Structures are given as structure tokens and as C-alpha cells.
């Protein structure tokens, strides 16, 4: 490992600690990492960088269980089905930790494009695309007036509302491998529209991923549509 790689690892470890500190005291973080609370304080506040061995241990400790606990600590939800995940989708550092763990957990084929629906899924899509070295595409409920070729997918929802998503045709090429992602999956209706767009583009699906599943309906629905991994990091 050269000097630049060591520095990048040390800075990544600090980002991890700062992210985890959002929902933990220093004493709790010390128990979780095995590092002294005083040292953690200095790392988080930027007074000193952890050594390479400590940095490797910190970065390597972030797995699905850690991130699932982090999500559950940040998400607010009630019995009426309201879910507030703003402390998750607006934290790009956290989402950058999620991407490699999601890729490893669900064994997604490396995609050419990460596709989501505007707007809450965009930050997750950006993190996943950066991890895989893919491009980002996001479908919108309104047409881009300056775009000539559009892929359109329309569906009447169970509620009776008709929902349409539009994507510039140039965003996905025929034969591309597409990973469909979103911050939240409930009924799976949005994911069906994104999968339909992928199919219309002549592309292949490498997987379907959501940070949060509100029940199992959406996950089960997506599994019936694709022969690829489908999953969520946590289920409420």
C-alpha cells in the first residue's frame, strides 16, 4: 500500500466513525470498535488520523448488521405507515458505506446503469453507481421538453391513480445491465415501472435493491418479475 492509498484508507475510516457517531455516544462507539473513547473523539473531530491498522479494522467492521442497525436508529415510522428516512437519504457518507455492503450481500452483477425514480432514490443511486463505476439514470413523472426520444411506462395503481414515468432513451442502451434501486419499496409498483422501462430499452436487469422495505409485498412482487437478486437492507 503506497502513501496515497494509506491516506485514503485513513480518511475513509474517519468518515465511517463520523457516520456511526451520529447515533452513538463515544462510549458506545468504543464498545463497538474496541478503540478507546478518547482516541475516537480525536479521530471524529479531525485532530489526528487513525493508524493504518486501526483504519483497516474500522472500515472492515462495517457490514450489513452494522448498517441495518444504523438505518433503524435513523428511521422514524408509525403504525399508519408513515416513514421518515430523511436522515438516511440526505447523508451521502452513509450511502457510500451502504453501496459496497449491498453489492456484496446480494451479489449483484456489475451494472452499466443504476436506475431509480426521482427524487428520493437519486442519492442512493449515485452512491451505488460510484461503487460499481456505472452511470446514473432517473425516471421522472414529467417529460423533458427538450428531449426527443423518451421511454414511457404507465400503470394504473391499486389505488386507481394512473402513474407514468419518463426516461430519456439515451440514458440506457440496448444490452446494458441495469440495477434498479430506490430508497423505499412498499407495494413494488414503482419498481415495476422502472423494470418496464428497462425492458422497453432492451436492457437486462442485474438486480433490484432498496434501502428499506415496508413489509414483504414489494420485494415479493419484484421477485416475480426478474431472474436476478432482489433485496432490501432492512425491513420494517
At how many degrees (to 10) do helices 92-106 and 122-132 cross?
Answer: 60
Mean pLDDT to the nearest integer, 156-170: 88
DSSP H or E stretch at residue 181: strand 177-185
Return the DSSP state at 53.
H
Share of the chain residues as helix, strand and coil, in percent rounded to the nearest 5: 45, 25, 30
Q: What is the DSSP string of 58-78?
A: HHHT--HHHHHHHHHHH-EE-
Kindly report the average pLDDT of the chain as a whole number.
94
Fold exhibited by the domain 83-235? Rossmann fold (3.40.50)
- Distance between CA atoms of residues 103 and 87, nearest Å: 22
pLDDT > 90? residue 172: yes
Of the two residues 82 and 135, the one the predictor is more confident about is 135
pLDDT, mean of residues 41-64 = 95
* CA torsion, ordered 66, 68, 74, 79, to nearest 10 deg: -150
**Mean per-residue pLDDT, 12-16:** 94
Helix (H, G, I), strand (E, B) or coil at 235: strand
> Per residue in 95-150, pLDDT tens?
999 999 999 999 999 999 999 999 899 999 999 999 999 999 999 999 888 888 99
Phi, psi at residue 132, to the nearest 5°? Answer: -90, -10
pLDDT given for residue 80 in this prediction: 80
> Quick one: 87 exposed, middle or buried, by C-beta within 10 A (0-12, 13-18, 19+)?
middle
**What residue has cell string 441495518?**
68
- Beta-carbon count within 10 A of 5 CB: 10
Please state whether the predicted TM-score (pTM) of the whole model is above 0.75. Answer: yes
CATH 3.40.50.2020 residue ranges in the chain? Answer: 83-235
CA–CA distances in Å: residue 221 to residues 108, 118, 226: 18, 21, 9
Q: Give burial (CB, 10 Å; 0-12/13-18/19+) of 142.
A: exposed
Neighbours of 6 (CB within 10 A): 15
| Vertex 119 angle, CA 115 and 124, to 5° | 55
User: Is residue 158 pLDDT above 80, yes or no?
Assistant: no
Q: How does pLDDT run across 192-210, given as a tens digit for each residue?
A: 999 999 999 999 999 999 9
Amino acid at each position: 500500500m503506497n502513501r496515497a492509498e494509506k491516506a485514503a484508507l485513513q480518511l475513509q475510516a474517519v468518515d465511517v466513525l463520523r457516520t456511526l457517531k451520529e447515533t452513538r455516544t463515544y462510549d458506545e462507539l468504543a464498545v463497538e470498535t474496541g478503540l478507546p473513547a478518547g482516541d475516537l473523539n480525536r479521530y471524529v473531530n479531525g485532530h489526528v488520523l487513525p493508524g493504518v491498522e486501526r483504519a483497516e479494522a474500522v472500515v472492515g467492521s462495517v457490514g450489513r448488521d452494522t448498517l441495518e442497525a444504523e438505518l433503524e436508529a435513523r428511521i422514524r415510522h408509525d403504525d399508519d405507515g408513515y416513514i421518515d428516512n430523511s436522515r438516511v437519504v440526505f447523508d451521502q457518507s452513509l450511502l457510500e458505506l451502504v453501496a459496497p455492503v449491498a453489492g456484496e450481500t446480494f451479489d449483484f452483477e456489475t451494472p452499466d446503469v443504476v436506475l431509480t425514480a426521482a427524487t428520493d432514490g437519486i442519492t442512493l443511486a449515485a452512491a451505488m453507481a460510484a461503487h460499481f463505476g456505472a452511470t446514473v439514470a432517473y425516471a421522472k413523472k414529467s417529460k423533458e421538453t427538450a428531449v426527443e426520444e423518451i421511454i414511457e411506462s404507465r400503470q394504473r395503481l391499486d389505488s386507481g391513480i394512473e402513474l407514468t414515468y419518463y426516461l430519456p432513451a439515451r440514458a440506457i442502451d440496448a444490452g446494458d445491465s441495469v440495477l434498479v434501486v430506490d430508497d423505499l419499496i412498499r407495494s413494488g409498483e414503482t419498481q415495476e415501472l422502472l423494470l418496464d422501462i428497462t425492458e422497453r430499452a432492451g436492457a437486462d436487469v442485474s438486480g433490484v435493491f432498496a434501502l428499506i422495505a415496508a413489509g414483504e409485498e414489494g420485494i415479493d412482487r419484484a421477485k416475480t418479475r426478474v431472474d436476478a437478486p432482489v433485496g432490501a437492507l432492512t425491513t420494517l
